[in-house]
Amino acid sequence: MQTAQRIIYHYRRRRFILCIVLAILTLIVTLGLRYVTERSDNRHEIVEYSQRAIASLEKVLEPIEIARKSLVTLPGIPCDMTQYQLREQAARLQTVRSIALVKDGTLYCSSIFGQRDIPINQLQPKLPSVYPLMTLSTAGSLLKGSPILLLWEPSSLDGQSGVMQVVNIELLAGLTLQPRPPLITQAVLNVANQYLIGQTIYDNQLPLARGHAEHRYHSSRYPFAVIATGPSPERVALQSLPAQLPLALMLSLLIGYITWLASATRMSFSWEINLGIAAREFEVFCQPLVRARDRHCVGVEILLRWNNPRQGWISPDVFIPLAEQQGLIAPLTRYVLAETVRQRHLFPASEQFHIGINVAASHFHNGVIIDDLRRVWFANRPEQQLMLELTERDALPDMDYRVVRELHQMGVELAIDDFGTGQSSLAYLERLHPNVLKIDKSFTAAIGTDAVNSTVTDIIIALGKRLRINLVAEGVETEQQEGYLRRHGVAILQGYLYAKPMPIADFPRWLAGDLPPPAINNDRHMSALTLR
């Protein structure tokens, strides 16, 4: 059998585990979502940064390209006739440091120096070129060693003549490619196999800090790319998680608390009782009551036990008090009433035959028991006499005695169960007018062994006789107890000496004498206990 402490601990443990699991899942999901969102934002920021840098550079190169195409017809024209035009274009473009004209591989005119006569490949080894060219280089005059961007447009088929534009890329890159830590620690301009970082040009390979990643984005209009380097978006997102931890913890604790409140019903013993009633897991048993003088069966007490498929056998001593605490004792009583009425044909159809059903005092409030009896019991017109048994441990003084009077008027008998074990009061005996006092089995067991309890038993018997209340002794297990009670005038007896609690379906066989006599004190843990 399960104990109340074990069952309550079991349900609280399940609720606690569920709350902890959901809180942890909430924490993980919250941090995970925050990580995914932060990583996505980081990637978006890198893309946006690179696209904006590319757009800025393209915007600068667009007028330079237009000017270069208008100057491509000038190579071969004397310098004194083109120098003014070159200077005017350089001044208008602003970002262009100089414009030079090349004829047959010789730079012969410059917007800065005017007339010149220098082989172009001495200044820039990659020139002249048959194809248009964009390349990074270093200045050989004026600001020597400073990085520049060379734009070459050939004007002849052999590529020996053309226009060379020198762009002040150091200033342009400094304005366009500003780092944005911690995500972007370095922005690089990539032209062919050359990389501009600050004032330094690296050939063939980009130097990358350890643990950093590169994100390369190409221009769709010009042969260059922008490379953003820095920690990976995943790493930056991961590093930002500690700052999100307090909020995630608060959210997870809130979810855990809400789960604790929400699971109070579904993951509680009250939910288990409701489920048991709906699934008809409760079994209704009966235990006969016999006349002391001839052992003739005059009634039964209806008992309840619960074979819970999820918890195993649960004693009424466990689930009845918990049902009372949760306000579910009335539904259990209705269940017992309905099952008893459904199987009433198995009992003798006589008004002299009593069927006792245990009822809690709380069921009397506001006349609920009256409505239930009219709907369930009297609507089916049973011939047997109904007796409601109230345990003395219930709050009998708080009962509505107008309901008691109405029950008497309806012909329902009242019995006080376990008499002598609770808070005895002669006043409420007078107000209840019970038909029966049931002597608790602890007093019956003391007969012949315990002088004190035997004396109490004698007092209870004398009290019942004096108040003209019928007496029923519970827990009779020996013929010595039977003889003592019979001699002292107790008319009705109940106990293992006559029958163990049995399914109602077995009662006709017992009544006919086909069932073997019960083994005293044998297999008690399997017996159904009284609904209290």
pLDDT for res 521? 43
pLDDT beyond 90 at 160: yes
Q: What are phi and psi of 199, to 5 degrees?
A: -110, 10
Q: What confidence category does residue 373 fall into, taking pLDDT thresholds of 50, 70 and 90?
A: very high
As a whole number of angstroms, the distance between CA 473 and CA 469 comes to 13
Q: Which residues partner with 503 through β-bridges? A: 285
Beta bridge partners of 307: 313
Output the pLDDT for position 40.
94
Among 421, 438, 433, which Cα is nearest to 467's? 433
Asked if 495 and 477 touch (Cβ cutoff 8 Å), the reply is: yes
**Which one is predicted more confidently, 117 or 175?**
117
- What average pLDDT does the segment 158-174 reach? 89
How confident is the model at residue 5, as a pLDDT? Answer: 58
What single-letter amino acid sits at 62?
E
Task: Please give the average per-residue pLDDT across 424-435, as a whole number.
Answer: 72
pLDDT value of residue 428: 67
Report phi then psi at 228, rounded to 5: -100, 125
pLDDT tier at 458, thresholds 50, 70, 90:
confident
Span 314-337, average pLDDT: 81
**What would the mean pLDDT of 208-229 be, rounded to a whole number?**
90
| 471 pLDDT higher than 70 | yes
Whole-angstrom distance, CA of residue 392 vs CA of residue 11: 30
- Which residue, among 114, 106, 110, has the nearest Cα to 97 in the 3D structure? 110
pLDDT computed for residue 451 by the predictor? 67
Give the pLDDT score at 327. 76
pLDDT at 366: 79
The pLDDT value given to residue 276: 72
Checking if the pLDDT of 430 tops 90, the result is no
How many CB atoms are closer than 10 A to CB 326? 16
pLDDT at 438 over 80: yes
Q: What is the DSSP string of 410-422?
A: TT-EEEEEEETSS
Confidence bin at 423 (pLDDT 50/70/90) = low
Other C-beta atoms within 10 Å of 526: how many?
Answer: 12
What torsion do the CA atoms of 228, 232, 238, 241 make, to the nearest 10 degrees?
10
What is the C-alpha radius of gyration for the chain, rounded to an integer number of angstroms?
51
* Average confidence (pLDDT) over 434-455: 82
Residue 286 has pLDDT above 60, yes or no: yes
Strands 385-391 and 312-314: unpaired
The tokens describing 118, both together, are: 């220098």
User: Could you give the CA distance from residue 115 to residue 481 in angstroms, rounded to a whole number?
Assistant: 140
Q: How confident is the model at residue 522 (pLDDT cuts 50, 70, 90)?
A: very low
pLDDT digits (tens, 9 = 90+) for 38-53: 999 999 999 999 999 9
Q: Kindly tell me if the per-residue pLDDT of 7 is higher than 80.
A: no
The distance of Cα 389 from the centroid of its chain, to the nearest Å, equals 45
What pLDDT sits at residue 523? Answer: 40
The mean of the pLDDT values for the chain is 85
Helix (H) or strand (E) holding 368: helix 368-372
Average pLDDT over residues 444-470: 82
CA 292: distance to chain centroid?
Answer: 61
pLDDT band at 520 (very low <50, low <70, confident <90, very high): very low
Rounded Cα–Cα distance for residues 441 and 14 (Å): 38
Q: Choose between 248 and 526: higher pLDDT.
A: 248
Strands in 17-72 per DSSP E:
none
The two tokens of residue 101 are 């004209």
**Residues 500 and 287 sit within 8 Å (Cβ to Cβ):** yes
Interatomic CA distance for residues 165 and 152, integer angstroms: 7
- Highest averaged pLDDT of the listed ranges 34-43, 510-519, 522-531: 34-43
Separation between Cα atoms, residue 150 and residue 192, nearest integer Å: 12
Please check the confidence at residue 4 and state whether its pLDDT lies above 60.
Answer: no
Q: Using CA atoms, how far apart are residues 298 and 292, in angstroms rounded to an integer?
A: 10
Contact 470, 464 (CB under 8 A): yes
pLDDT grade, residue 528 (50/70/90)? very low
At 376, which amino acid appears? V
Longest dimension (CA), the chain: 150
Q: Output phi, psi for 70, to 5 deg.
A: -80, -20
pLDDT-derived band at 532 (thresholds 50, 70, 90) equals very low
Q: Do 491 and 470 meet the contact criterion of CB atoms below 8 Å apart? A: yes
| pLDDT range class, residue 530, cuts 50, 70, 90 | very low
State residue 223 phi and psi, 5-degree precision. Answer: -80, 65
Backbone angles phi and psi of 329, in degrees to 5 = -70, -35
CA atoms lying within 13 Å on the CB side of residue 528: 22
**CB-based contact 139:126 (threshold 8 Å):** no
Is residue 246 within 8 A of residue 31, CB to CB? The reply is no
Pair of tokens at residue 60: 């600068």
| Domains contained in the chain, CATH given | 269-530 (3.20.20.450)
The residue assigned the tokens 């994100």 is: 215
pLDDT band per the 50, 70, 90 thresholds, residue 6: low
Find out whether 317 and 306 touch, Cβ atoms under 8 Å.
no
Which range has the worst mean pLDDT, 6-15, 104-113, 460-469? 6-15
Is 0.85 surpassed by the pTM of this model?
A: no
Residue type (1 letter), 308: N
Reduce the secondary structure of 322-350 to three states and give it as a string: HHHHCCCHHHHHHHHHHHHHHCHHHCCCC
Under 8 Å between Cβ of 86 and 109: yes
List the alpha helices (DSSP H) in 226-315: 233-266, 269-278
| Residues sharing a CB contact under 8 Å with residue 90, sequence separation 6 or more, in sequence order | 96, 97, 98, 99, 111, 112
Instruction: Give the Å distances, CA to CA, from 84 to 81, 88, 117, 480.
Output: 7, 6, 18, 140
* Residue 211 banded pLDDT, cuts 50, 70, 90: confident
pLDDT score of 392: 57
Q: Report residue 525's pLDDT band, with 50, 70 and 90 as the boundaries.
A: very low
Helix/strand/coil (H/E/C) assignment for every residue in 42-56: HHHHHHHHHHHHHHH
Q: What is the pLDDT of residues 123-148, one digit of tens each?
A: 889 999 999 999 999 887 766 778 99
Q: Is 473 exposed, middle or buried (0-12, 13-18, 19+ CB in 10 A)?
A: buried
